Amino acid sequence: MIQVIYYRDKCIGCGSCADIAPDWWVMDEQDGKSTLLKSVHKRNNIFITKVEADEVDYFVNSSDSCPIGIIEVRTC
Ligand code: SF4
């Protein structure tokens, strides 16, 4: 299983993730941070979603593009 963990508190709103994978990331007009769609809020603004193997590239690319490294792609 592949999980994506997103530490939303630290987002600086650069928009890279939403440019790369707009089906998964949307910029919030209210606070300027990115929102990970179809995710579950765990605690302290940490969001997690499960990803199918054929979608993982979107998240790896999003993670690589994030200037502060707050998108983690983890194989469990
Ligand atoms: S790439 Fe990182 S810092 Fe930029 S909007 Fe996405 S989560 Fe936020």
Pocket of ligand 1 (CB under 6 A): 11-17, 34, 65-68, 70-71
- Cβ–Cβ < 8 Å for 46, 8: yes
pTM to 2 decimal places: 0.94
At 12-47, the pLDDT tens digits run 999 999 999 999 999 999 999 999 999 999 999 999
> Given the CA of residue 13, which atom of ligand 1 is nearest to it?
5
- The pLDDT tens digits of the residues spanning 50-67 come to 999 999 999 999 999 999
Scan for tokens 């469990």, then name that residue: 76
Closest ligand 1 atom to 25 CA = 6
